[in-house]
Structure 1
Amino acid sequence: MSQTPAKGLFITGTDTGVGKTFVTALLARAFAAAGYRIGVYKPVASGCECDAAGELVATDAVALWEAAGRPGTLEQVCPQRFAAPLAPDQAARDEGRRVNAELLRAGVEPWLASSDLVLVEGAGGLMSPISDEDYVADLAYDLGFPLLVVAPNQLGVINQTLQTLITAASFRTGLLIGGVILNDVRSPDPAADPSVLSNLRELEQRCVPPVLAHVAWEAAEFPEPISAIATMAGAYLRTSQVTPGQAVSTSN
């Protein structure tokens, strides 16, 4: 396992568009309300738009910054920004630039110095390329924070979530896995997608890491007490050494 002391959480997803920013913002708001000094870090963002001054702005970073109470600066929240809506390494190449792999890692240091807890939001899924040399999983491993896996409440989520957990458990010498958060990415319509009624139960039965919460569509706050999330994830990490064979359950 990576040896960096865990003073944060690394939020990843089963894919892009699963609501990582929404869930991370809810977590930031809840932790801040509970009295934590929260740092929020989006190491790199693509698909950014220019503001009135011509500066690229990452809307995801703004959402995290606002939710955490505007700690530090937006530049610290997301120091590497690119315009094209592509994977960061491709977006950088479109601009004749490269993602700075060293800065991906070093950019968290100001937050570690000033925060009780840092929430890091990755780009895309765990195996999304994030620089010429790295996947998101490489950054998560090097930072050493437990993973929270955001999974969309829709057909296919069981397969996607279990694949992500197995990948995390087997990547390099293994990533710490704090748990799974099921997120409603649209208003549930059981007539159109009956799986929305059973996905939570299925994930709870099949995942070894705990399902920590089910976030409802357009939720105004995180659905579980932050203390309960910290306790559940912490207890799991203290008592478990996740291996590929333990990431999923075979008894249902």
Structure 2
Amino acid sequence: MEPGGPRGLFITGTDTEVGKTYVAAMIACRLRKSGYTVGVYKPVASGCRDLHGEIVSDDALLLWEAAGRPGTPDEVCPQRFLAPLAPHLAAAKENRRIDRDLLRRGLDPWLARSDVVLVEGVGGLLSPISAEDYVADLAYELGFPLLIVSRNCLGAINHTLTTLTAAAVYRGGLHPAGIVLNEPSCPDPADVSREDNPREIAARSTVPLLAVVRFGASEFSSPVDWYQVARPARC
């Protein structure tokens, strides 16, 4: 671990269902294979399932497995809800409330024992994560640079640049480290934008396009030193 604390990335998306968890798990696997101790933290999850009376987040379990099962699944995702809604709305369905303090302090165990911490938000930067907070608030306060995951399909250019614009102005500016274009589902053969999107996004963004992930791929399109992409939290 570095003297200033572990390096980290806050992984956000341009929308829901863009494959943030899949990309985060790929990064965790790559870091672990490179010899780093990886922490994975998903502050809250909705749309979970009930397994014999226990609320289980499959996304959190995927991250936990990819990182080599550090800590416990409860530490990976301490707040879990069933309804596929924004977390504060899903909590209300269960007569519960989001613990805003826990959203933040739930990161602490990972800071104490990791070389690199991967934090995964919900939805996009302006998705509500509590009644008072957006994902962007948590990203700002935790202080790690952003990794933006965008769906590689028609509209990716606009969605990616819109997210970068939001990041640039929110609370004085968040700090994106890079972009990953992902194909979370079998692509439509008629969508010819998939081949042009990487070039167009790279040309129009000041943030580097780090890699493309084709549908079903277990490796990134190009090698990335994820330890160097990550950075210690901003003070």
Shorter-normalised TM range: over 0.9
Judge conservation of contact 2:17–2:123 (CA < 8 Å) in 1.
yes
Tell whether the 8 Å contact from 2:21 to 2:59 is kept in structure 1 after alignment: yes
Q: Alignment partner of 2:85: what SS? A: coil
| One-letter identity of the residue aligned with 1:182 | L
- Which consecutive unaligned segments of at least 5 residues does structure 1 have? 238-252
Shift of 1:5: 6.5
Match of 2:203 in 1: 205
Cα 1:219–1:156, aligned 2, differ >3 Å: closer, same or farther? same
**Percent of residue pairs identical:** 58
The structure richer in strand per residue is 2
Would the aligned equivalents of 1:30 and 1:226 in 2 still touch at CA under 8 Å? no
Q: Which residue of 2 aligns with 1:86?
A: 85
Cα offset for 1:188?
A: 3.6
Query: What does residue range 112-131 of structure 1 map to in structure 2 within 5 Å?
Result: 112-131=111-130
Runs of 4+ deviating beyond 4 Å: none
Q: C-alpha offsets along residues 88-138 of structure 1, whole Å, 9 cap, x if unaligned? A: 011011111111111000000000001001000000111000001100000
Letter matched to residue 131 of structure 2: D
Q: Are the counterparts in 2 of residues 48 and 85 from structure 1 also a CA contact under 8 Å?
A: yes
CA distance in 2, matches of 1:226, 1:41: 21
Q: Which has the higher contact order (CA 8 A, sep 6+)?
A: 2
Residue 157 of structure 1 deviates from its aligned partner by 0.7
What is the deviation of 1:65?
A: 0.4
| 1:176 Cα offset (Å) | 1.1
Aligned to 1:249: none
How many residues end up aligned between the 2 structures? Answer: 228
| SS in structure 2 at match of 1:15 | coil
* TM-score normalized with structure 2 length: 0.93
Tell me the equivalent position of 2:216.
218
Per-residue deviation, 1:7: 2.2
TM-score normalised by L of structure 1: 0.87
CA contact (8 A) 1:44 1:104 kept: yes
Counterpart AA for 1:35? G
Counterpart in the other structure of 1:57? 56
Name the SS for the 1:222 alignment partner. coil
RMSD over aligned Cα, in angstroms?
1.6
Partner-residue secondary structure (3-state), 1:98:
coil
* Distance apart, 1:189 and its partner CA: 4.0
Shift of 1:173: 1.3
